[in-house]
Structure 1
């Protein structure tokens, strides 16, 4: 069997074992960008539960996990909600490159800078979590689809993601990401190992057609990402904001001390968006933080 045929066989087998075609043809979740406080809380709670369960983060009384990058104006925190129970079953965030950079700059800035110098506009797929059942994990396909469409609408040319070695098969074989870094370790996540993976959005449709057209289940994947229209497609471009000011204050100042712990550049940038000098209490908090 040729290498190409082996890869087609592996891709088809992985799709069917994971019940991906079933989940893409029979709707299992509804997806949305978080806009209300309780929606962000559901996403951040799921992140905490899953990251804590696998030992990436310590116990915290707030039982929330989030990052400064999720508060950036062009970021979108997305959740998939079970149609059966209404519970949030998976979440992920898209962070678009800006003057404060991307989360993975902490390890891979030299690699991401190469994309910037080539005139590319990168964005990062980050803060992924899903409940452990197969249908919840497959809900990430719906999240990836809508975040991909949002990225395209913002002129993004490349998606990057830091991937644990045990998950590389999913991203490389099924989503067609390519590994672009050596193995590195995240100090803030208890030295979790990760590779930086990249998906070129300029030729992504062609690559999916080449990878998936050789077998009939693959057409389901091609249609899902590029041809069909889903209800959420109508509002993706009209959702014009990420967090509102009171939501930022609640998570980063009132509920936790996350703002005080931020890198100065990020703190300055977010303060210019969410905090007003006329508010004395917030001004004091800002001075303490910086």
Structure 2
């Protein structure tokens, strides 16, 4: 994959913003960030529910939120695009783990095993949803590009995503993905899916060669700002040289889960005991045993 093919952020020579620069609300359309509050998580899960319901992927449920067991993991990143206080788009980055695996394991476990045997660090991009009436197509494209760049600057070797077959060509042309697994029926959304893959490690090597000694964080911020998009600090930190900057904290906690999410996902009641015990250890007081479908 040629780096240029993916149309990564065509920098326009803007100067890095001055220290302390803070654009006014009227100067920006969106803020891209990693969800770091209970309200942002809840909005993201509600948006995911609304959009999946509107296209027939799920049935109507009283709770009006949609989330998975992977959203409970401390390493999971929920990316959001906001306008004012409203979440308009969300995408989730799930890191592979021996205990929970990845969302696509149910369909593409054999294909994933080939990467795992090579001891590759794998992430899956999933739970994609956007309010297309309020969030522009260019906004969606710039949002996805940023998430892929985030992977490039993180300890990631491979990026995966499951998409509806009608979106395959778009992901190949726009973001440089290739087909990883053949079309299969995905029962969770009652629709077909195709697994796609991008070699993030190879992308990183080409990226480092192209942007060696380049003040990337500043230019990235300035480029997005030129499009009236502000990048939050918890995303920009990933583009620092300090590896510890990649660390983030999933705002999920037992109180939030028990109050807003308990009983909203029937899959949690079927988790293996070791997975339940892990979540109880991470979130003391969490009521996993009560997570039955409404």
Corresponding residue for 2:220? 228
Alpha-carbon separation, structure 2, partners of 1:72 and 1:248: 12
The correspondence for 1:269, drawn from 270, 273, 278, is 278
TM-score by length of 1: 0.73
Alpha-carbon separation, structure 1, partners of 2:218 and 2:206: 12
Alpha-carbon separation, structure 2, partners of 1:50 and 1:74: 25
Structure 1, residues 213-260: CA drift from partner, whole Å, max 9, x if none?
9xxxxxxxxx9999623554444537631023322333442x635475
Q: CA RMSD in A?
A: 3.7
Structure 2 counterpart SS, 1:189: coil
After the TM superposition, which residues 99-248 of structure 1 pair with which residues of structure 2 at under 5 Å, given as runs?
Answer: 99=98, 100-133=100-133, 135-152=135-152, 154-190=154-190, 192-204=191-203, 228-229=220-221, 230-232=231-233, 233-236=235-238, 237=245, 240-242=248-250, 243-248=252-257
TM-score by length of 2: 0.73
- Deviating more after overlay: 135-144 vs 105-114: 135-144
Alpha-carbon separation, structure 2, partners of 1:260 and 1:234: 33
Corresponding residue for 1:219? none
Corresponding residue for 2:39? 38
8 Å Cα contact 1:181/1:196 also seen in 2: yes
Corresponding residue for 2:289? 286
8 Å Cα contact 1:96/1:122 also seen in 2: yes
Q: Higher relative CO (CA 8 A, sep ≥ 6), structure 1 or 2?
A: 2
Question: How far is the alpha carbon of 1:206 from its aligned partner?
Answer: 6.7
8 Å Cα contact 2:34/2:77 also seen in 1: yes
- Deviating more after overlay: 242-251 vs 46-55: 242-251
Corresponding residue for 2:55? 54
Corresponding residue for 1:217? none
Alpha-carbon separation, structure 2, partners of 1:78 and 1:59: 24
| Structure 1 stretches lacking a partner, 5+ long | 214-222
Alpha-carbon separation, structure 2, partners of 1:287 and 1:41: 19
Alpha-carbon separation, structure 2, partners of 1:204 and 1:103: 23
8 Å Cα contact 2:153/2:204 also seen in 1: no
Corresponding residue for 1:216? none
Corresponding residue for 2:17? none
Distance 1:59 1:193, change over 3 A: same
| Structure 2 stretches lacking a partner, 5+ long | 15-26, 222-230, 239-244
8 Å Cα contact 2:269/2:290 also seen in 1: no
Distance 1:146 1:74, change over 3 A: farther
Higher helix share: 1
How many matched pairs? 254
Alpha-carbon separation, structure 2, partners of 1:224 and 1:258: 43
